Amino acid sequence: MHRPCAKLGAWWNKRLQPCAPLLAKHPLILQPNHLLNMTLAQPQWLFLLVIPLALAYRRFKRGKPSALSLWMPALSALESRNTWRAVIVPWLPWLTIAALCLLVVALARPQRHWQEQKIRAEAVDIVLTLDVSPSMLTRDFEPDRLTVARQVASRFVRKRATDRIGLVIFSAEAFTLCPLTTDHNLIQTFLKEEIDVGRLEDGTAIGMGVATAIHRLKDSPSKSRVIVLLTDGENNAGYISPSLAAEMAHLFGIRIYAIGIGTTGIVMSPVQRNPDGTYVYAPRQTSFDTALLEEMAAITKGKFYRAWTEKELNDIYDDIDRLEKTRVEVTTVQQTQDYFHLFLIAAGVLLLLEIVLRWAWLRSITQ
């Protein structure tokens, strides 16, 4: 008994249900919410509604069928035929009245208006180049320089929604942790879980870190390409000097924003690495080569920053965010969709139904 229904349900699930979301978005499909936003392009035609309304009033007052179609047969045969077909016959004129109403609405040209925004963004390609030498574990920041640098960089990434961002780490050698990507969740994961001291050989090869970042940016089609370099020490490793790396960046039109992090003087710094990977800390004099970073920024027409505290580091990244604005163009397009054809089709269906019922299915009763 329920087998046909089950087959129909299976057919719907297999054939039509996957198409439902696409049909819902099609502009020619009239959705319930479209009715609320519909307007009439030529509302003056609505005065013609007096014709079907007058016919409806006349039909209602008489309480019997009236001649609303081309030809209305006599209904005397109904007196002796109390069948379900005979019950339908008095309602046939209402199909004509409804069709006339739909035709008038179609003449008024129902429309729906909406706006579409086309957003075009010229993204900035940014490679975060982060020093992961042991000195980044110095505890003049809470809890240390590297942890704060990761947290502030993560906040910076969240603000660059449309940009491609890459991640390079360096100590005595450099390594691309993540190439340029718009998947910022991936970048956040690397910043949170994959950056650690001890993965690379100890040392500070600033030139190598910058050169690796250049390799990721040199073929980028973006008009704006940036290296955000963060380090706390003097260059003491690598076969590419920082000055040469800066010249290479300038050649490819890449700007370097160089950030020097940390205080100077005697601070608790790692002095020895244990077999288990932890470090022994002791007070140590720290120094910083600001002249080198200033030179690199000047060569590439970037900017040099000095971060003594976490707040200053946050302010530096905010300043870089302001300097490297993503150009976004928003174009608003006014769209109009006519729906008069749907009302014409509905009117035609009602008229066709009335004709078929009157002249074919109910002909023996209406004659």
**CA distance linking residue 299 with residue 180, whole number of Å:** 24
Measured CA distances, 242 to 17, 206, 236, 260 (Å):
61, 6, 10, 14
**Which stretch of 80-89, 115-124, 138-147, 233-242 has the lowest confidence by average pLDDT?**
80-89
Name the segment(s) of the chain with CATH classification 3.40.50.410.
124-325
- pTM, 2 dp: 0.61
Return the pLDDT at 326.
67
Whether the predicted pLDDT of 37 surpasses 80: no
| pLDDT, averaged across the chain | 82
Share of the chain above pLDDT 70, in %: 77
- What is the DSSP secondary-structure string of 289-354? -HHHHHHHHHHTT-EEEEESSHHHHHHHHHHHHHHSPPEEEEEEEEEEEE-HHHHHHHHHHHHHHH
| pLDDT tens sequence across 226-249 | 999 999 878 989 999 999 999 999
Please report the pLDDT score of residue 12 as a whole number: 46
**Residue 259: what are its φ and ψ, rounded to 5°?**
-115, 125
Q: What are phi and psi of 264, to 5 degrees?
A: -115, 160
- What's 123's DSSP letter? P
pLDDT of residue 198: 79
pLDDT of 127 > 60? The answer is yes
Q: What is the pLDDT of residue 214?
A: 97
pLDDT of 78: 45
Cβ atoms 258, 294 nearer than 8 A: yes
pLDDT at 77 over 60: no
CATH of domain 124-325: 3.40.50.410
Share of the chain above pLDDT 90, in %: 45
Question: Is the pLDDT score of 148 beyond 90?
Answer: yes
| Per-residue pLDDT tens over the stretch 79-104 | 444 566 666 777 788 888 898 999 99
Query: What are 171's two structure tokens?
Result: 């100590």
Range 49-68 average pLDDT: 73
pLDDT of 223: 86
Beta bridge partners of 306: 260
What's the confidence (pLDDT) of residue 69?
46
The pLDDT tens digits for 287-346 are: 787 899 999 999 999 999 999 999 999 999 999 998 887 665 656 777 888 888 889 999
Confidence (pLDDT) at 339:
87
**Amino acid identity for residue 199 in this structure:** R
CA dihedral in degrees (322, 323, 324, 328; nearest 10)? 60
Q: Enumerate helices (H) and strands (E) in the chain, giving the number of each.
A: 14, 11
Give the model's pLDDT for residue 84: 61
Q: According to the model, what pLDDT value does residue 80 have?
A: 44
